[in-house]
Amino acid sequence: MGILGTGIEEGLLLKPVKYQWAMDLYDQAVANTWFPNEVQLGEDIADFKKMTDEERHAVTFLVSYFNPNELLVNKALAFGVYPYLNAAEAHLYLAKQMWEEANHCMSFEYVLETFPIDREEAYNSHIDVPSMARKEEFEVRYIRRMTQEHLDITTTQGKQEFIRNLVAYNIILEGIWFYSGFMVALSFRQRNLLRNFGSLVDWIVRDESLHLKFGMNLILTVLEENPDLQTPEFAAEIKQMILDAVEMEEQYNNDLLPGGILGLNATYINQYVKYLADRRLEELGFEPEYHVTNPAKWMAAANDTLELVNFFESINTSYESNAKASS
């Protein structure tokens, strides 16, 4: 039996562990447990008040985006991932990840409560700002497919939907869009501003790096166990999803920083987005698309959390021998 399945009575025994990478990630996630109120965010209020309107807009925009999208990820996990897996160790990790997403949501609530931000305006942004709403609709479309349409995980089409959902959430939302926002959030600390907010984001990034690693390993495992998914046509579709996501993020970043702030503008962020996309493409076994350097070298430790075997390029006979999930 592979990692995919919908049997309620399967996956009730943890040992022997079949997917050690999932167990290792669960142990690491538990060790990483933290709580927002451990950060003295109130110390950053003076910084926030002395920042320019553009800078405050950027922070507010980021929080407005992250707040609902952390909860959106939870929906994707609850409806689009958890019900379609058999392995107990994968369920354990997903349960911890869902708690982490809730903790991240509460972290951004803490920011909204602490800084003088108009909560109603922040809450409405994901509907009122077209570039933000467009990204959300892109993501919601995949959950709808998983929940509102009949999905038979035993068919090639059903398994493809499962992979599409993982790519939309783990690779695009968490692995590119979130990281782009993290870089902007952490850029203030580079200028000795919002240092405690930066610490909060550091802890979120640490969690998200594990989410990304779990998603990558899960995609790798499903592809390895299901050769019917290894077609050039499906690979091309997955790559196009990522390229479309970059274009959406470029529009979003123009709204995030319409005029630029000290040391940072939309062009800089979008180069970072393309750098991230190339890393994700390579981790998925594709050639890089954009061939750009990382403009935010100080983010390197957060970016390159993964060293995974390529698989989409290995859809020929060499695939089986090459694909090994790293723990």
Q: Could you say which of 19, 26, 65, 110 is catalytic?
A: 110
181 in Cβ contact with 65 (< 8 Å): yes
Token pair 């160790």 is found at: 89
Indicate the angle between helix axes 20-31 and 195-225, nearest 10 degrees: 170
65 in Cβ contact with 251 (< 8 Å): no
Alpha helices, DSSP H only, in 115-194? 119-128, 130-147, 156-166, 178-190
Indicate the angle between helix axes 130-147 and 156-166, nearest 10 degrees: 150
**C-alpha to C-alpha distance for 169 and 326, rounded to whole angstroms:** 20
SS3 264: strand
Task: Indicate if 275 belongs to the active site.
Answer: no
299 in Cβ contact with 181 (< 8 Å): no
Q: Is 158 exposed, middle or buried (0-12, 13-18, 19+ CB in 10 A)?
A: middle
**C-alpha to C-alpha distance for 234 and 160, rounded to whole angstroms:** 8
Active-site residue list: 110
